[in-house]
Amino acid sequence: MATHLKNLSDFSHTSIPNGKGFRIALVAAEWNAKITNSLYQGAYHALLANGVSAEDIISTTVPGSFELTAAAEILLTKNLSIDAVICLGCVIQGETKHFDFICNAVANGITNVGIKHSKPVVFGVLTTDNEQQAIDRAGGKHGNKGEEAAITALKMITFSNIF
């Protein structure tokens, strides 16, 4: 089925671990705030709905998506007993190559921080062609990628605790 025909935030086919006792950082970019606020709300409420207590959610913001990597690194280096970092941002294609450079740097940076710390660092960054695509994925007809990022964090924390 084509992406444009369905809500991608459907978890009916999978089990979601209970997040009780998990400590999770939510880092949201301020750039494209209308979108990132929706992503944040989706992630925050998904964590609460799946057992994470409000006291165990560390929320912070950074200026833009590029800064998400540094924020994740700082949070995990400060040894705040964080089980996962969820990075939320939105980069919308413009007329220059800036989009490509930012998306590539953020994706690689988030991956590298996770590998360095052996902790889940979740990529909850929308990389869209236009604002409408972002709206559709931040609580619109295609679901909420923030919610998906929260579920990913819970699953990856559970996975990392197995080994």
Asked if pLDDT for residue 20 goes beyond 60, the answer is: yes
Cβ–Cβ < 8 Å for 49, 11? no
Asked if pLDDT for residue 124 goes beyond 80, the answer is: yes
Q: Which two tokens stand for residue 114?
A: 């996770």
Q: Region 70-84: what's the mean pLDDT? A: 94
pLDDT band at 147 (very low <50, low <70, confident <90, very high): very high
Helix axes 98-117, 68-77, angle to 10 degrees: 10
Asked if pLDDT for residue 9 goes beyond 90, the answer is: no
- How many CA atoms does the CB half-sphere of 108 hold within 13 Å? 6
Write down all domains in the chain, each with its CATH number in brackets: 28-130+139-162 (3.40.50.960)
What CA–CA distance (Å, rounded) separates 145 from 155?
15
Q: What is the pLDDT of residue 1?
A: 38
pLDDT band at 59 (very low <50, low <70, confident <90, very high): very high
What CA–CA distance (Å, rounded) separates 92 from 132?
10
Q: Annotated catalytic residue: which of 13, 45, 98, 142?
A: 98
Annotated catalytic residue 4: no
Asked if pLDDT for residue 55 goes beyond 60, the answer is: yes
Q: What is the pLDDT of residue 52?
A: 98
